[in-house]
Amino acid sequence: MSKDIRPRVLFVGTLPPPIHGSAVVSQQIKDSELINETFQCDWVNLGTSRRMDEIGKQSFSKLFRFMGAWSRTLWLLIRHRYAFCYLAITCHGVGFLKDAPFVLLCKLFHKKIVIHQHNKGMSKDVDRWPYRWLLPLCYNNTKVILLSWYLYPDIERIVPKENVLICPNGIKVNAGNSIRNNKNKANRIIRLLFLSNLIKSKGVIVLLDALKILAEKGYSFQCDFVGGETKEIDANRFAEEVDTRQLNKNVLYHGRKYEDEKDSFFANADIFVFPTFYDNECFPLVLLEAMSYGLPCVSTSEGGIADIVLDGESGLISERRNPESLADSIRKLIDDPDLRKKMGEDGYNKLQKYFTYEVFEKRIESILMNQVGVGKSVS
């Protein structure tokens, strides 16, 4: 039997459930045929929550999962000689305090470390105890993968620029999405789509205020809100906000939708609206999903969104927390069917060039291969 000469890598990251951006990307890497052909991969699930409602709560089951993951990491480090360790950790708050022991354990074994950052918020903690000494301890002499250069200012006080690598997220694209969405939609009401959990900082209330402005100006439209209820805004609170603005004929809330049901909302929409001002927004996959259906996107410049939605080409960027600016952007697209079509096509073409799963897979493999001294260029 021939010896397996592939470099062995320890991957430590959050895997679904629950489903969120970091977990989705970790699962993509774990399932990647290219990654598994290139490396011998050992995985540790860093996640301690198994449902969305467990996130942010303390429990014995989460402590048990943490101890299990840390013990497995220790066992694997003792058992194998790794070329490097890949960790997808949280860089701020309590999440960082939970994940830091995994980084420090790998450092204790003198392993080369690559941190894949799917979040931000480090800049808020860098002067606070214990972060002011724990952050440098974890990030010193590590390579950090960011989703966009727009996210670098958040970590610049801890991580020098020469240690930063850029790898935008990517999604799997059904070739029929854009064709299906670009069917003739003339002579019917314009449909807007918002897809996210009902969180204020995702722009829910700002969007409702913008829709009120448009309705008062006589615009006809339907806006579908798709996403889960939250403590901030449940279905009853959302209905009250809609009623207060007299938008009952224009706004529908559909709750959570998955797979084919979610796809049908993208396929039937004309414009995707995501006016987020969420502090930890980095590189929303939902915008890539909308682009895969040929939808023009209206969003903000939060996080790395400006790399996804190029203002005036693949969509429009409105001011954060500004209903008037958001209403004006939506109005431009409602008034101009040709602009909607052009921006949707430009977004779809940009997605195909930069943000598909296949492009992401090649980029991440190239980055990881460079950590073992084997460079590969990726366009």
Summarised one tens digit per residue, pLDDT across range 62-87 is: 999 999 999 999 999 999 999 999 99
| pLDDT, greater one: 141 or 373 | 141
Per-residue pLDDT at 179 exceeds 80: no
- Predicted confidence (pLDDT) per residue in 93-110, tens digit: 999 999 999 999 999 999
Q: List the structure tokens of 154.
A: 């958040």
H/E element, 290: helix 285-292
pLDDT tens-digit map of 126-147: 999 999 999 999 999 999 999 9
Is residue 330 within 8 A of residue 194, CB to CB? The reply is no
* Cβ-contact 92, 120 below 8 angstroms: yes
**H helix runs in 126-184, sequence order:** 131-139, 176-181
Domains of the chain: 8-170+357-370 (3.40.50.2000), 176-354 (3.40.50.2000)
Confidence of residue 240 (pLDDT cuts 50, 70, 90): very high
Q: In what order do the strands lie in the sheet with 84-87?
A: 40-45, 8-13, 84-87, 113-116, 143-146, 164-166
**Token digits of residue 211:** 């829709």
| Region 254-262 average pLDDT | 94
Is it the case that residue 182 has pLDDT exceeding 60? no
Burial of 190 (0-12, 13-18, 19+ CB in 10 A): buried
**pLDDT of amino acid 52:** 64
pLDDT digits (tens, 9 = 90+) for 304-319: 999 999 999 999 999 9
Local confidence band at 20 (pLDDT 50, 70, 90 cut-offs): confident
Residue 288 near residue 339 (C-beta atoms within 8 A): no
Burial class (CB in 10 A: 0-12, 13-18, 19+), 331: middle
- Cα–Cα–Cα angle for 49, 51, 52, rounded to 5 degrees: 100
Q: Are 195 and 275 in contact (CB under 8 A)?
A: no
Q: According to the model, what pLDDT value does residue 377 have?
A: 46
> In the prediction, which pLDDT does 112 show?
96
Question: Residue 375 pLDDT > 90, yes or no?
Answer: no
Average pLDDT over residues 357-369: 97
Residue 379 has pLDDT above 50, yes or no: no
DSSP class of residue 7 equals: P
Give the pLDDT confidence score for residue 187 in this predicted structure: 41
